[in-house]
Structure 1
Amino acid sequence: MRKIVDDGTPGIKRCFLPHHPVVKEESTTTKLRVVFDASCRASKGISVNEALLVGPVIQQDLRSIVLRCRMRQIMLVSDVEKMFRQIRINPADAPLQSILWRFREEDEVETYELKTVTYGTKPAPFLATRTLKQLAIDEAERYPLAANVIKNDIYMDDVITGADDVETATRLRLQLDAMLESGGFRLRKWASNCVAVLKDIPKNNLALPETNGISWEQDSAVKALGLTWLPKSDTLRFSFVILELAPDQTLTKRKVLSIIASFFDPLGLLGATITKAKIFMQRLWSAKNTNGHALEWDSPLTEALEADWRIYHQQLALLNELRIPRCVIASAAASVQIHCFSDASERAYGGCVYARSMDANQLVTVKLLTAKFKVAPLKTQSLPRLELCGARLVAELWEKVTEAIGPNYEVHFWTDSTCVLRWIQASPGTWVTYIANRVSKIQPITEEHTWHHVPGLSNPADLISRGVTPEVLIDNSLWWEGPDWLKQEKDQWPQGQENLSEGVLEGRRIAAAVVAVNENGFMHEYIARFSSYTRLLRVTAYCLRLKARAMPKENRCFITTAELREAEFAIIRRVQQDTFFEDLKRLRKGEAVSRHSLLRWFNPKIAENGILRIGGRLEHSQEPADAKHPMVLPAKHVLTELILLHYHQNLMHAGLQLLLATVNQLIPPFVEDGEGPTASRWEKWREHFDAYLAWKGVEDHEEKFKSLMLFGGQDVRKIISEVQPNDDHLLGNR
């Protein structure tokens, strides 16, 4: 940083960053760090970080870096000293990184500008890692080994790499030192499981001998959290902070979830026991208190939940005693295979990946490489479907492992579900959508590899799908080294499959012959048989006469006007009953129609003859009863169309306005969803009219039809008479 003397230069935009110390006692180098708060808002209400972009992630994730190291015989770990402070920023941006500082208490507080990338600003990680990557690109020809490590094996400022022999590892270390020094960086805290690789390094540049290991922390803000490597024994261990629970201590959902969230296991090596904790977490979210409501964050757990958690929590300290071999490959391995196991239970599903290597003496070594799991959804799924989810999970896990260690391995997939094997072997289109979607994800990943059936008792993924306590996990050889038969020759592996279970039938896409059934009622089918409304009324009147059987003999041959009117009422009553059943039911009880009813705006009422009519303020007018309270019919019913066609023909092919005005005085068709039948029917009637004019030899149909639309059906006689005045009598027949 540089001291700023205020010379009164106008136009300089300056922002002061607050800062505070952070003490980290377990650090082997810098125990006191200064952290700058670039998220603190300035006087204008905007912080520096709000005006900056984060930048993309250009480094690989921690899982991939550690996976590669587990495949190498020799491991190298180092740290870039004060990486951010070795990278200068544009001088024009320095005023935005101003601070107030004094070196001694008796000094005056003065203004300084930070000239380098500052920890606490949003783009600082990207700027630092991008600078290292550019250095690797520029120096790739001179330092090829180091350039590849900088591109792939650096996590923030930690170098985590390795090699398979001492000579390559030594050359790699020398290239890393030389290349980073050429860019102004210095590597420190070197550590390796091979002492020969570190023989030329000064003692002050080595990891301190009294340290317990080199810690890889995912988040430096979380203390004593992460995976720890012990170079001397070349093993990995965990360093969880497990506080004892007092017998009288109240356990809440907040307390338990905070403990579960503190488990950091990037490789899933403790997946079999963390599954149990995540299942318990799901129970907490589903638990209810005595009032039937969800547990609050600070509400005490129920007795059953508290007892289960205390049993599990007492064993968590055992996880820190685990010592896991860092390297999973035998020395001078002649062949390496990858075996992926999957399984599921009603509570969770998961998969685990093992590395099987054989040395020149035919000695086989099997070690757990990585694992992953997911808790089953609360919505109940069949066990075969969960098994399929486990198979997809392990396939995707292998895809991630491939990105880290490369694809050049013989790979075998194992599951104890015969349903899953049959689903994967067939085309996705054979199965229902749920299964087809997951099979289509599995097949492209595993198409070059083989799926096998494994007995359930020798499936290590069974442990991660059910969850076990830490006490069971520590010495469980099935979890750490896989099934015993995996160390034997291939002909000793499980062969064949069990009988096909019924789950395959569940997933098969079934072809069904669908027959269309007309669900319209009797009245709809009865009315649809007629093309004339007049004929419909006359036939119905005869049917009602036969039903009554009370008509005098002298009147049996002729239908009266009263009978036709009663027939019309009978038809309309039945159509209304079929269409407006719920509305009629409520009206008969003296209630108003539902607020969701299509009749709610018309104040409907039931007349004395049982016909549903429109109410309103015309009750005391001098208009006829049918005009004051028109009957209601559904807009899209066959009866409504038949009535409209009847009046259209009687009005001599009347225009739309005349037709609706006439019909609305008698029976207004009720409009459903704002759309009635008149528009579509009018097009048909226009075709009807055009055909009639063509038959009569009338030209210019479009103009004649427009005239018809404007003046109504009475103008038809005038139009026709202009051409053939002697044929007017035919119009009535038409």
Structure 2
Amino acid sequence: MAVKRFESLERKLLANPQLQTLYKEFMDEYLALGHMSIAPTPGHYFVPHHAIYKADDGDAKIRVVFDASARCSTGPSLNSCLLPGKKLQQDIIDVLTRFRIHQHAFTADICKMYRQIQVLPEYRKYQHILWRSSPHDQLVEYQLNTVTYGVTCAPFLAIRVLHAIAETDCTDADQVRDALLYQTYVDDICVGSDSVESALELQSSLQFILAKSGLELKKWSSNTPDILSSVPASDRVCTPLPFNDSEDGGTKVLGLQWNPNNDFFSCALRFQPSPTFTKRGVLSLVARIFDPLGLFGPTVFWAKCIMQRTWQLGLEWDDPLPPDIHADWSSFLSDLPTLSTIRVARHFGTFKQSACYLMGFCDASQLGYAAVVYVLVANSSGDQPAILVGSKTKLALMKPLSIPRLELNAALLLARWLGRIKQTLDPHIKIVGTYGWTDSMIVLSWLTVPHTSFKVYVSNRIHQIRTILPDCQWSHIESTNNPADCASRGVMPSELTKLSLYWQGPAILRANPSTWIRLVAPIPLCSLPEVLPVALTTQINRQDWPEEWFNRFSSYDRMIRVTTLMHRFINHCRRTKFEPSPTLCLNVTEVDCATRSIIRESQSIHFCTLLSELSTGRRVSSKPLARLAPFVTMSESSESVVAFVIALLSYGCKHPILIAKRSHLALLICRRWHRLTWPLRPPCHDITYFATILDRRHSFGCT
């Protein structure tokens, strides 16, 4: 496998002399630095390698990729035998957010970070490659001596080394320790300080501590010239911005374009020379807009909406777009370069332990929902505007949701976004207040009522909002003043450049904080949607009951009649509106229901063990009862009683209901039928009479 892959690579290099020269220079450097050497012993796994080649504006770049996921002919791939390790790197959103705290900021790159970390000699036999500079040379087997990018555990190993440096070498340098643990994304360090002196000290300490472990910092950039004064010109980043209308230099910070001279962020776009108007082309361009903080969220949301429309129509990946979507997408592409002209301030305007407010806005539409967050320095003179931290947008599901539910999802999205920003900024600046605004009175009213009052969907989300932000103060804002309104509907790039409401926040943020909370009367609970129906229950202590509550009756007929009337009264009380009975006479259904309720109560007292055994499927413990083969039967009203089988009878009398012979109910039944049948005096051994002593609707058996 490795030989075939190398021969394919060699043919590709011979077809492109410039690529061949760059590839050879890379491998020669790899060998000269000692990062690889001739293998002393045969390898156990050979890693294929190939080139990623870019030639932009005459500046050709090459990156060699080692494919440790390639399966060999005799076994699995190297990556399938390795574990990736724990995720140690900080999230890119948190790193960028912390990078915006400091007034004096700088970035640096750890040069060849992976290749500065040695692999133990006993493991190098799994990192062998094949290489030769010319097809006329003999193919040579090399071993890679360092951590190799392309191996699944390489990120973990590299970042774990940085953490080890922070734990062992930074005992007296807290700033360096925090920089390595929290302000480093793989090999990119993004840090700063509130003063030039402190920033210079941090820079010097970083260089010294990392140099002790053989790590060198390159690609320096800063918004403060004094920080770069001691850095050689060859170690600085001074590439021009990729926009023709830009006069200043810039660099990329974790994918965002940063102009250090003017200290602002912009959107780094990579345009396709000839875009394709298919679903594949739409997704390809949407994925190229890298915006981790959501600074350009309203425009990205617009593009996502077009992408969703292609899915709703069921288009295949390479099907041409319908005319309406084609027109919208073409208009978006022609307007997209405007997005690169937007400038977003990097610095929040905060200093160490500054007191700040976090303010968030949320909104929803049928297309989706969004949350926008700002930060404002407290006790400022009023001339300092609120700074946009970022936004979060989500498309609505294809399954339609009501507007109140979408607005609630927007509030939950805002709570999560605010909670994350607060957790990231809290160690560095003091958050004195967290505020949330929505234009939905239903959501505000939901948040003032215990979450248990609503149905599951609403209840769970209200509970999450209160758990994430227990101290957040929620208030109402008009839709026309809500900066999240545009983010929940999407706007074209040219429109986004003019949206001062989105970039600076509403006018209320420039007013006194005491006026931010507007007291609005909530909607009454009875008028809110998603409210659970009220269920009134009464708990009765059975220990206070007599053995049988109907012991007071001496007549079976009177007991049945009174119980039937009680059931009729209860059923009337449960109805929402009064409906008088068509007749005052008791019907057969009502009498049957009352009879079964009395039987069920008597059985629950005298046969509680039997009921438990039958309901759980256990074996009947009482031998006399077991001989009767009792079972639980259900009536049309879902009332269960215990019956047993008498096989000699007809179907109507085959399953008599079991009655305890010492119960008061058995006494009343016997009295009634003794009185009714007194002149007949049937023989006691007549089993038919025994099974049908009540009537044709109910038969009883006493035991």
- Asked if Structure 1 and Structure 2 have the same fold, meaning a TM-score greater than 0.5 normalized by the shorter chain, the answer is yes
CA 1:452–1:174: 2 relative to 1, 3 Å: same
Cα deviations by residue, 1:630-684 (Å, 9 ceiling, x for unpaired): xxxx98669xx9xx98xx9xxxxxxx6xx44x46xx6599xxxxxxx96xx69x3
Q: Displacement, 1:51?
A: 0.5
Counterparts of 2:195 and 2:323, CA distance in 1: 57
Q: Are 2:88 and 1:79 equivalent residues in the alignment?
A: no
Q: Are 2:211 and 1:181 equivalent residues in the alignment?
A: yes
Aligned to 1:240: 269
Aligned to 1:483: 506
Aligned to 1:114: 144
Question: Unaligned regions of 5+ residues in structure 1, if any?
Answer: 7-11, 218-225, 288-293, 532-633, 649-655, 670-676, 692-727
Residue correspondence of structure 1 range 138-177 to structure 2 within 5 A: 138-177=168-207
The one of 125, 128, 132 aligned to 1:98: 128
Aligned to 1:261: 287
Q: Are 2:229 and 1:199 equivalent residues in the alignment?
A: yes
Aligned to 1:404: 424
Instruction: Give 3-state SS (helix, strand or coil) of 1:349's partner.
Output: strand
Q: Are 2:387 and 1:367 equivalent residues in the alignment?
A: yes
Aligned to 1:213: 250
Q: Are 2:31 and 1:2 equivalent residues in the alignment?
A: no
| TM-score for both structures, normalised by structure 2 | 0.70
Residue correspondence of structure 1 range 449-468 to structure 2 within 5 A: 449-468=472-491
Aligned to 2:496: 473
CA 1:315–1:688: 2 relative to 1, 3 Å: same
Instruction: Give 3-state SS (helix, strand or coil) of 1:451's partner.
Output: strand
Aligned to 2:335: 315
Q: Displacement, 1:252?
A: 2.1
Q: Displacement, 1:83?
A: 0.6
Aligned to 2:530: 507
The one of 119, 127, 132 aligned to 2:162: 132
| TM-score for both structures, normalised by structure 1 | 0.67
Say if 1:343 and 1:465, in contact at 8 Å, map to a contact too. Answer: yes
Counterparts of 2:303 and 2:239, CA distance in 1: 36
Counterparts of 2:464 and 2:529, CA distance in 1: 20
Residue correspondence of structure 1 range 274-285 to structure 2 within 5 A: 274-285=300-311
Counterparts of 1:71 and 1:232, CA distance in 2: 17
Counterparts of 1:295 and 1:41, CA distance in 2: 35
Cα deviations by residue, 1:675-697 (Å, 9 ceiling, x for unpaired): xx96xx69x38x67999xxxxxx
Say if 2:239 and 2:251, in contact at 8 Å, map to a contact too. Answer: no
Aligned to 2:413: 393
Greater Rg over alpha carbons, structure: 1
Q: Are 2:252 and 1:298 equivalent residues in the alignment?
A: no
Q: Displacement, 1:312?
A: 2.1
Question: Unaligned regions of 5+ residues in structure 2, if any?
Answer: 1-35, 242-248, 538-569, 575-586, 597-631, 665-681, 691-703
Q: Displacement, 1:489?
A: 2.8
Aligned to 1:44: 74
Counterparts of 1:270 and 1:499, CA distance in 2: 34
Counterparts of 2:482 and 2:105, CA distance in 1: 31
Counterparts of 2:149 and 2:411, CA distance in 1: 42
**1:18 corresponds to which letter in structure 2?**
P
Q: Displacement, 1:301?
A: 2.1
Residue correspondence of structure 1 range 328-727 to structure 2 within 5 A: 328-329=348-349, 335-357=355-377, 362-406=382-426, 408-409=430-431, 410-490=433-513, 493=516, 495-497=518-520, 500=523, 505-512=528-535, 659-660=646-647, 662=648, 684=658
Cα deviations by residue, 1:521-548 (Å, 9 ceiling, x for unpaired): x8867888999xxxxxxxxxxxxxxxxx
Aligned to 2:603: none
Counterparts of 2:360 and 2:156, CA distance in 1: 35
Aligned to 2:577: none
Say if 1:373 and 1:464, in contact at 8 Å, map to a contact too. Answer: yes
The one of 51, 55, 61 aligned to 1:21: 51
**2:156 corresponds to which letter in structure 1?**
F
Deviates more, 1:468-477 or 1:491-500: 491-500
The one of 216, 230, 254 aligned to 2:259: 230
Deviates more, 1:198-207 or 1:22-31: 22-31
Counterparts of 1:142 and 1:418, CA distance in 2: 53
Instruction: Give 3-state SS (helix, strand or coil) of 1:365's partner.
Output: coil
CA 1:341–1:690: 2 relative to 1, 3 Å: closer
CA 1:153–1:24: 2 relative to 1, 3 Å: farther
Instruction: Give 3-state SS (helix, strand or coil) of 1:468's partner.
Output: coil
Q: Displacement, 1:72?
A: 1.4
CA 1:92–1:527: 2 relative to 1, 3 Å: same
Q: Displacement, 1:91?
A: 1.4
Counterparts of 1:525 and 1:473, CA distance in 2: 71
Counterparts of 2:517 and 2:481, CA distance in 1: 10
Counterparts of 1:406 and 1:494, CA distance in 2: 23
Counterparts of 2:150 and 2:498, CA distance in 1: 43
**1:329 corresponds to which letter in structure 2?**
G
Q: Displacement, 1:69?
A: 1.0
Cα deviations by residue, 1:243-296 (Å, 9 ceiling, x for unpaired): 3668xx6x2222222222222110001111111222222222212xxxxxx322
Say if 2:65 and 2:150, in contact at 8 Å, map to a contact too. Answer: yes
Counterparts of 2:133 and 2:342, CA distance in 1: 46
Say if 1:333 and 1:359, in contact at 8 Å, map to a contact too. Answer: no
**2:685 corresponds to which letter in structure 1?**
L
CA 1:516–1:302: 2 relative to 1, 3 Å: farther
Counterparts of 1:356 and 1:503, CA distance in 2: 38
Instruction: Give 3-state SS (helix, strand or coil) of 2:685's partner.
Output: helix
What RMSD over aligned residues (CA atoms) do the two structures have, in Å?
3.8
Instruction: Give 3-state SS (helix, strand or coil) of 1:506's partner.
Output: coil
Counterparts of 2:441 and 2:499, CA distance in 1: 26
Counterparts of 1:28 and 1:489, CA distance in 2: 56
- Sequence identity, in percent? 32
Counterparts of 1:490 and 1:368, CA distance in 2: 18
Counterparts of 1:502 and 1:253, CA distance in 2: 46
